[in-house]
Structure 1
Amino acid sequence: MIWSKRNILFPLKLTDSLLQGILRAGAVISALVMLLISLFLVVESWPVLGQISPVRFFTDTSWHPLEGAYQLMPILAGTLYASVGALLLAIPLGIASALFIVYYASPRLAKWYKRLVELLVGIPSVVFGFWGLTTLVPLINQLHPPGASLLAAILVLTLMILPTITLTAYSALMAVPAEFLRNAIALGISRWGMIQGVALPAAKNGITAGIILAAARALGETMAVLMVAGNVVQYPETFFDPVRTLAANIALETAYAMGDHRAVLFVSGLLLMLLVMVLSGIAGLLEKQRHA
């Protein structure tokens, strides 16, 4: 009996130890990759960072690297305006879509609607950009020239991050314990009252995680925004003004950049990584609050 028990327990312990080792190795490799990327960005940026004050990236008169002007603030502003605008549209639409799938649609309709959203996730960003360039930009141009603008970037980014928010909110809502919902129904609470008072608070952390993931994608999106935003380095006064984002700036100029110009583009990459790290820090704080 003892021998047989050992034969049952030993494989389980071996499997657990092996799995734990694989997971630890994966975590270490991921951390090393992130560290190497950060070091690479710092090393490539150092020719500029070691010569000029970082304050100049926010106080120079314009963005003309070949003339020694390194103003990044209009590009950073374009990045934030496009990303925040897309989030303001995508968050309510995504959560509403998830609520519709889980609580309002018939099983057949919910199945096909969810498949449609999953299909949108797999569409390459360049396809969204091409659609925006050939369809959305001409429509905006009829309303207010030039068409390629902050508004076009916001709408294209909204379409791109909407499926992410919808699917993560769907998963979070499906993970709400059924007992919570049954208790709410037993108390005679209406459907919307149950959603507002029980389901959404219980799924809050999962929905927030999806929003942060979508925000990171919006900040780093390159090709689609490059194709529809107009790529003019300026502070937009209206939604119809062209803008340039950090990711698009790197993609546009890296092919011919040399010397300090090239180094400043890596500074743009560092700034993007800093924004993503801020989002990651927010996610960590929310996780601590969840377990507090």
Structure 2
Amino acid sequence: MGEKTFSELFIEKGLLLTACFSILIILVIVAFILIQGFPAFQDYGFLNFIFGMNWAPDSNQYGVFTMIVGSLEVTLLALVMAVPLSILCSIFMAEVARDNVRKFLQPVIQTLAGIPSVVYGFFGLIVLVPIIRNNFGGTGFSILTAAIILAIMILPTIISVSQDALRSVPKQFKEASLGLGATNWQTIRHIILPAALPGIVTAVILGMGRAIGETLAVIMVAGNVTQIPGSIFEPVRTLTSNIALEMGYATGLHYNALFATAVVLFIIIMILLLFTNWIQRKYKMDIGGGDL
């Protein structure tokens, strides 16, 4: 008994140490980014940096507002396209599809998750860019092109996590609903889907993080023009693309400004995560309060 208690204590302390070490690594990374980016905020001004419309290192102008808008537009459009398709696919796989169909689709979705970003980028460059250019005008490098690529890239993440959330709903919920005379679709819509909603929100959060942090594929198809786009068919530059494109030759204040761009990206991600976590907690309280 004493040996078992010691083992449990050892495992508990080991897990606690691992968690603390992970938190320490995150804090070190955040501190490093803040320290490197602070000179740009100090020299150029935080508000000027955030709301500045011009990014011209040669003229000592560092404004990232156009890239903030570009990042948000690409990410939100990708979510608009990916979330409904992902949820419908996860519902089909968890509640409708036969076992042989599910066994076929599962590895296909996992394969999509394992494809490198550069392959998605080449697909967008060779296939999507000419299609959009020929049908909608412009160069084809646009918000829409980048959003389509990101939507495809985040599909596996949202589908997998949403499917797990749907299948984790207790079977008693479904059996009770069917026993009361509800159809299978009514049960899915009014019982299973609301009960799994917190897990689905988590899936959307993970997909959003993947989309807003993607760099290489977006660089290849977004056009990388620092402007406020007038439509989804115009090119943009995202925050991640800006860092990747210019970090290799940046020096001095330009170097610090790129780290400051990373700070802005970190702040945006934190705001989006806090907002989505608030929605998740709200639905959990609604479910706990018997709103189902």
TM-score range, shorter chain: over 0.9
Inter-partner Cα distance in structure 2 for 1:19 and 1:130: 46
What is the aligned-residue identity percentage? Answer: 36
Q: TM-score, normalised by structure 2?
A: 0.93
Summarize the Cα distance change of 1:282–1:20 in structure 2 as closer, same or farther, 3 Å threshold. Answer: farther
Post-superposition shift, 1:233? 0.5
SS of equivalent to 1:100: helix
| CA 1:59–1:101: 2 relative to 1, 3 Å | closer
Q: 1:19 to 1:281 in 2, by over 3 A?
A: farther
- 1:145 corresponds to: 138
Deviations, residues 246-282 of structure 1 (Å, cap 9, x unaligned): 0011000111111111111111101111122223323
Q: Within 5 Å, which residues of 2 pair with 1:52-91?
A: 52-91=44-83
- CA-CA distance at 1:53 after TM superposition: 1.6
CA distance in 1, matches of 2:2, 2:104: 46
Amino acid at match of 1:141: R
Unaligned runs of 5+ in 1: 1-8
Question: What corresponds to 2:233 in structure 1?
Answer: 240
1:46–1:239: structure 2 CA closer, same or farther, 3 Å change rule? same
> 1:157 aligns to what?
150
Q: Is the 8 A contact 1:61 1:69 kept in 2?
A: no
For the pair 1:121 / 2:113, whether they are aligned, the reply is: yes
Asked whether the equivalents of residues 83 and 218 of structure 1 are also in contact (C-alpha less than 8 Å), the reply is yes
Q: CA RMSD in A?
A: 1.5
CA distance in 1, matches of 2:113, 2:213: 16
Amino acid at match of 2:56: H
CA distance in 1, matches of 2:262, 2:59: 21
Q: Residue 255 of structure 1: SS of its match in structure 2?
A: coil
Q: Distance in 2 between matches of 1:86 and 1:61?
A: 24
Is 1:214 the equivalent of 2:207?
yes
Q: Give yes or no for the alignment of 1:16 onto 2:8.
A: yes
Contact 2:70–2:228 under 8 Å retained in 1: yes
Q: Which amino acid aligns with 1:214?
A: G
1:104 aligns with 2:111: no
Displacement of 1:13 in angstroms is 1.9
Moved more, 49-58 or 235-244: 49-58
Helix, strand or coil at the partner of 1:235: coil
Distance 1:246 1:61 in 2: 13
> Which AA in structure 2 matches 1:64?
A
In the alignment, structure 1 residue 35 sits paired with structure 2 residue 27: yes
**Could you tell me whether the CA contact under 8 Å between 1:216 and 1:279 is conserved in 2?**
no
Unaligned runs of 5+ in 2: none
Q: In the alignment, which residue of structure 2 is the partner of 1:183? A: 176
1:263-282 → structure 2 map (5 Å cutoff):
263-282=256-275
Shift of 1:61: 4.4
Question: Which letter maps to 1:176?
Answer: V
- 1:112 and 1:100 map into 2 onto residues whose CA distance is 13
Distance 1:42 1:260 in 2: 14
Query: How far apart, in 1, do the equivalents of 2:52 and 2:87 lie?
Result: 41
Q: Does 1:172 align with 2:152?
A: no
Is the 8 Å Cα contact of residues 128 and 156 (structure 1) preserved in structure 2? yes
Match of 2:195 among 192, 198, 202: 202
- TM-superposition CA deviations, 1:10-30 (whole Å, max 9, x none): 343223212211211121111
Structure of larger gyration radius: 1
TM-score, normalized by length of structure 1? 0.93
Instruction: Tell me the alpha carbon deviations over residues 57-78 of structure 1, each in whole angstroms, 9 at most, x when there is no partner.
Output: 2443411122121121111101
* Greater CA drift, 105-114 or 77-86: 105-114
